[in-house]
Structure 1
Amino acid sequence: MTTEKFLEYLQYERNYSSHTVLSYRKDLEQFSSFITRQCGEFSILTIDSDLIRLWIVDLMEQKNTPSTVKRKLSAIKSYFKFLIRQGVTKKNPTNGISGPKNSKKIPIFVKEADMDVLLDHSEFGSGFEAVRNKLIIHLFYITGVRRAEILDLMDSDIDFSTQAIKVTGKRNKQRIIPFGDETHDLLIKYLEERDVRIGIGDGHVFVKEDGAKLYPMLLYRIVKNKLSETTTLSKRSPHILRHTFATSMLNHGAELNSVKELLGHSSLAATEVYTHTTFEELKKSYNAAHPRAADSKKGG
């Protein structure tokens, strides 16, 4: 009876959709079935935190994904909060229990050798679009900026005296990213080409031939088309070049916190995922170079 009252509460007081309510019903039925198997009956008063943890283990052993398990746990947490408000029980056995962590995917990146080929030996052509497109690829790789950040970059954000650009990231947080002599020369060449071809615009660095600000899909196509010439990666987006920047920095000895600041991450955890990538590269190099790494059976 308490289950039905809970579902009615979700539907009529919380205005949950019928689909969501049905999901809650299924989660509660599965939970009830598990408790009954463990205890011989389903009784709210006998459920403790150990049973909740055992239920989570059972879900994982059934090959449920971490996100699915967390969703089911969220439903049970809501159920017990409802029971407490209704005075059915005074304890919540789900308190302090969190679901399994989602496994982080290792970021895809372009190999350094392929980036060298792309920037040093690939044919971009001549003229305004060619100079612009090469600078775009170069900036993504050399600074790790986001797509929106490069689209919103203004002439006033470039400081040639200190060789740094100012970008505005998520939550309007600004950061300064340094650049080297090569980037300096490419920027000067592009801006001269742009100003001769288009004239004074609205201040955006990257524009189309008609002077209008570059739009996201065009930027995506520019990157995808050039990456297609040198890599067989399934994903060939601007974000892949951001991954490539971070991976390259760490592979060449940059401190994790420095890369975090350059990327504009709010926490170090977001940057740490790239350490897995660099470890994979290190492992490949080791296996390829060490005379006894390939055959672990040697030497007994």
Structure 2
Amino acid sequence: MSDIIVFGIDFTSAPSARKPIRVAAGVRQGAVTRLNGLMALPSLDAFSDWLAQPGPWVAGFDLPFGLPRELVEHLGWPTDYAALMAHYAALSRAEIRDLFAAFCDARPAGGKFAHRACDGPAGASPSMKWVNPPVAWMLHAGVPRLIAAGVHLASLLPGDESRVALEAYPGLLARELIARRSYKSDTKAAQTPERLIARKDIVDALEQGRTRLGLRLKLSHAQRDELVADASGDSLDAVLAMLQAAWAASRPRYGWPDAVDPLEGWIASA
């Protein structure tokens, strides 16, 4: 197998110098994925500039690429992916929040949100959620920029096939390794020794290749220390997304199941 350039992106819908978009850059060589470096993108414009770099590369983005079909049809929105994303991008966050809140308010407790088919297998939050975490805003900020950059959204929207964008979810891989233990927090008071130990356990397992992805992560001593020390978990999440992209890069149809809704998309390795 030839080397494959891979990236993992821990996305935020409101990046800043204090809380940037984190990018892990690496290369897959057979069963080994080597981390080449980590970078910080402090704005959405910096993110757009980064997307323009020439391929070939495959990248895993920690943000939802689609909305639940049930929600889309209920709202009477377009059921063609490109038209749906254009419609969604044209709405303000306030308009989206009001529509989604009304949808949830009309449904029974325990079933407020509509889900995509991939949410259950991945253990992911519904992509219409606007708080804790605000993944609906991540979709709103991120996907239109992916489309504008002309990258290839595998099985969703054709683009430059040398620059492949996949939806990733670091929590899926983290849970495989440490179950429900928490390993990160943006709140200083919650950045505990227990969470640091959990990050160390994740990194150890990745280096030893103890995941169902069949890949070993290769790090320098300094990189290992950096991943464990970042109490926000953003650097580690970027690396987890990179490994999901590395796994998908060698699979037919990037590892998607045969029957995936082309409106909803799929999460790499779910």
TM-score, normalising length: structure 1 = 0.23
TM-score, normalising length: structure 2 = 0.25
- RCO (CA 8 Å, sep 6+): is it higher in 1 or 2? 2
Greater Rg over alpha carbons, structure? 1
Q: Which has the higher helix share?
A: 1
